[in-house]
Amino acid sequence: MDLRKHVEHHNSLSVNINSYVLTKKSLYAIFYFTYICFLIIIRVVVNKMNIKEALRALKFLFFSISAGLIEMGSFALLNEYTNLPYWPCYLIALVLSVIWNFTLNRKFTFQSSNNVPVAMFKVFCYYLVFTPLSTLLGDYLTSIGWNEYLVTGLNMVLNFITEFLYQRYYVFKDSIDTKVVKL
C-alpha cells in the first residue's frame, strides 16, 4: 500500500516537472510578448508622451513585473500544493498582485495625492469586469487542456496592458504628479 502511494506521488511529480519545463518556456514567451505590447503602447501614445511619461510607463512595467512574480509565485504554490481547481488559485493570486501593484503604482508611478478610497474604488470597478472575464476564460482554457501557467501568463499580459491604460487615463488622470514630496 505504501509503495503504491509512493509510485502515485512520483508520477504526479513527473507531471509537475513536465509542467515546469513548459512553464519556463511559456514564461519567456509571455515576457517577450509583454515587452512587445509595452512597445506598442509607447508607440501609440508617443505623440503625447514626453520623457516623464516614458519613465512613468517604465515604472509601471517594472512594478507590474514584480506584481506578476507575486501572482505567478502564489499561483504556483496554490496550484502545486493544494487540490484547488484553477479559478480559486488564480483569484487569490490576482488579489495579492493587485494590492501590491496598486500601492506601488499610486505612490511611485503616478505620484498621486488622489483620495485613496476613491482611487481604490475605481480600480475595484476595473477588476469587477476583468476578474470574472479572465477567470471564466482561464477556467475554460484549462478545462480544454491548456497549461495553467500559460493561461495565467496570458491573463497577466492582458491585465498589464488594459490596467495601464485604465489607471493612466481614468483612475489617476487628473491627479498625476500631485503628491507633495516631503524634504
Q: What is the mean pLDDT of each run of 10 residues along the chain (183 residues)?
A: 43 40 60 69 63 82 90 92 92 93 89 86 93 90 88 86 90 84 63
In 112-165, at which residue ranges do the beta strands (DSSP E only) sit? none
For the chain, the straight-line distance linking the first and the last C-alpha, in angstroms and rounded, comes to 68
- DSSP annotation of 107: I
User: pTM (2 decimals)?
Assistant: 0.67
Q: Is the Cβ–Cβ distance between 150 and 22 less than 8 Å?
A: yes
Spell out the domain ranges in the chain: 2-171
Grid cell of 51 as nine digits = 520623457
Residue type, 65: I
